[in-house]
């Protein structure tokens, strides 16, 4: 972390020409595990941040006023009702003042934590390693509304840039599904050279697909077809290193497409499993795709502490058009 210390300093708008006056961002750390709290504090100082506080989680539970830093890190492997309430208050406070919230927790607490931090675009990490923490910190600092952040350096910045570019590319492609500019030969209107993939009409009715009601409004495929595609994708990991085929955005879109036809609501923990990547990575993709307008976050009307994820209207339309483009039946993975 020391080598990126200068990357997280801010220009002083009032600096004198030729001077190197800078103002560092501040950070608040709350964790009950002493080794974790100590390591986070050391990394923050090495990075050149101002350590505003490094205290146990109980500091968040009291009614005393706490002056927080530009970045707030909460390490809570296990969360109870009282801490969830504190996280919800912290989330609303962060949304108001522009501070960046990073919460690390355990797999069992994904849904609870995700449900109570819905205002500030908080980053949620699941049993993170040092690299994941560094990436989250770099992301948070790039969002801090204080001056202009210098270019981040190292592999963490590269990973962040790649993730953002991939999601933006996916969003642009889905926006373009309605036109014909990228149609394949034989797919344009009036082109008789159509080459169609074999469909599923010869199979049992359970895996056939819904036919479009009109040319302008294609229907989503039946869930059996989508689940079969998902099964085929997952089958690859039995024969190859699953890291070779990591494509969480597409796995997320497929799972949510099937869920619509099945009239099922999908929790964030379930979607993390469907993404076929580590939970922290899946949560990062879910957050990026939500910000890009590909996914919607829906509050559970029966439990305000719980939230579900579903396709946005734009994504649902794009997925329907995608399967229609395949003649509603090509078995692609």
Whether residue 217 has pLDDT greater than 80? no
Spatial separation of the C-alpha atoms in residues 266 and 262, rounded to whole Å = 11
pLDDT, tens digit, 9 for 90 and up, residues 169-200 = 666 666 665 554 444 444 444 544 444 444 44
For residue 214, name the pLDDT band (cuts at 50, 70, 90). Answer: very low
Indicate the length of the chain as a whole number. Answer: 333
Chain center to CA of 188: 35
C-beta of residue 15 within 8 angstroms of C-beta of residue 50:
no
Q: What was the pLDDT predicted at 41?
A: 93
Mean pLDDT of the chain: 77
Spatial separation of the C-alpha atoms in residues 275 and 245, rounded to whole Å = 11
Q: Which has more pLDDT, 105 or 151?
A: 105
Return the bridge partners of 75, or none. 31, 104
Sheet holding 295-299: strands in order across?
266-267, 307-311, 295-299
Q: Which has more pLDDT, 262 or 212?
A: 262
- Give the mean pLDDT of 236-262: 87
Spatial separation of the C-alpha atoms in residues 138 and 76, rounded to whole Å = 20
Q: What was the pLDDT predicted at 329?
A: 52
3-state secondary structure of 91: helix
Question: What's the 3-state SS for 251-282?
Answer: HHHHHHHHHHHCCCCEEHHHHHHHCCCCHHHH
Spatial separation of the C-alpha atoms in residues 105 and 74, rounded to whole Å = 9
Q: Which has more pLDDT, 307 or 326?
A: 307
Neighbours of 321 (CB within 10 A): 17
For residue 15, name the pLDDT band (cuts at 50, 70, 90). Answer: very low
Percentage of the chain with pLDDT > 90? 41
Spatial separation of the C-alpha atoms in residues 133 and 103, rounded to whole Å = 10
pLDDT, tens digit, 9 for 90 and up, residues 94-113 = 998 889 999 999 999 999 99
- Give the mean pLDDT of 260-284: 92
φ/ψ (deg, to 5) at 73: -110, 125
Whether residue 122 has pLDDT greater than 90? yes
Return the bridge partners of 55, or none. 30
- CA-CA-CA-CA torsion sign (251, 211, 170, 287): negative
Q: What was the pLDDT predicted at 256?
A: 95
Whether residue 49 has pLDDT greater than 50? yes
Instruction: Indicate the CATH number of 198-325 among 3.20.20.100, 3.40.50.720, 2.60.120.10, 1.10.10.10.
Output: 1.10.10.10
3-state secondary structure of 296: strand
Tokens read off for 164: 């953002």
CA angle 53, 57, 61 (to 5 degrees): 105
Q: Which has more pLDDT, 243 or 123?
A: 123
Instruction: Indicate the CATH number of 2-153 among 3.50.50.60, 3.40.50.80, 3.40.50.2300, 3.90.230.10.
Output: 3.40.50.2300
Neighbours of 17 (CB within 10 A): 4
Spatial separation of the C-alpha atoms in residues 110 and 289, rounded to whole Å = 18
Tell me the residue ranges of DSSP E strands in 163-281: 266-267
Q: Where are the domains of the chain?
A: 2-153, 198-325
For residue 268, name the pLDDT band (cuts at 50, 70, 90). Answer: very high
DSSP state of 180: S
Whether residue 64 has pLDDT greater than 80? no
Q: What was the pLDDT predicted at 234?
A: 84
Q: What was the pLDDT predicted at 193?
A: 42
Q: What was the pLDDT predicted at 152?
A: 43
């Amino acid at each position: 972390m020391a080598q990126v210390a200068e990357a997280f300093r801010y220009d002083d708008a009032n600096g004198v020409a030729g001077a190197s006056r800078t103002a560092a961002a501040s950070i608040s750390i709350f964790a009950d595990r002493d080794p974790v709290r100590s390591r986070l504090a050391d990394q923050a100082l090495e990075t050149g941040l101002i350590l505003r506080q490094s205290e146990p989680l109980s500091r968040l539970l009291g009614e005393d006023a706490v002056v927080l830093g530009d970045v707030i890190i909460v390490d809570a492997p296990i969360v109870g009702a009282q801490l969830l309430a504190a996280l919800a208050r912290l989330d609303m406070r962060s949304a108001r003042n522009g501070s960046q919230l990073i919460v690390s927790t355990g797999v069992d607490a994904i849904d609870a934590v995700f449900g109570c931090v819905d205002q500030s675009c908080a980053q949620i990490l699941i049993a993170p390693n040092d690299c994941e923490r560094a990436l989250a910190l770099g992301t948070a600092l790039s969002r801090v509304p204080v001056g202009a952040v210098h270019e981040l350096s190292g592999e963490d910045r590269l990973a962040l840039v790649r993730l953002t570019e991939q999601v933006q590319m996916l969003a642009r492609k889905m926006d373009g599904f309605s036109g014909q500019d990228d149609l394949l030969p034989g797919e344009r209107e009036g082109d008789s050279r159509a080459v169609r993939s074999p469909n599923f009409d010869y199979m049992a009715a359970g895996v056939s697909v819904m036919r479009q009601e009109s040319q302008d409004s294609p229907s989503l495929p039946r869930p059996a077809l989508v689940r079969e595609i998902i099964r085929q994708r997952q089958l690859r990991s039995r024969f190859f290193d699953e890291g070779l085929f990591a494509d969480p955005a597409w796995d997320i879109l497929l799972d949510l497409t099937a869920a619509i036809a099945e009239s099922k609501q999908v929790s964030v923990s379930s979607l993390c499993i469907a993404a076929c990547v580590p939970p922290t990575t899946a949560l990062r993709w879910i957050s990026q795709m939500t910000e890009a307008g590909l996914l919607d976050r829906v509050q559970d009307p029966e439990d305000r502490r719980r939230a579900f994820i579903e396709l946005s209207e734009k994504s649902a339309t794009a997925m329907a058009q995608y399967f229609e483009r395949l003649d509603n039946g090509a078995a692609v993975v």
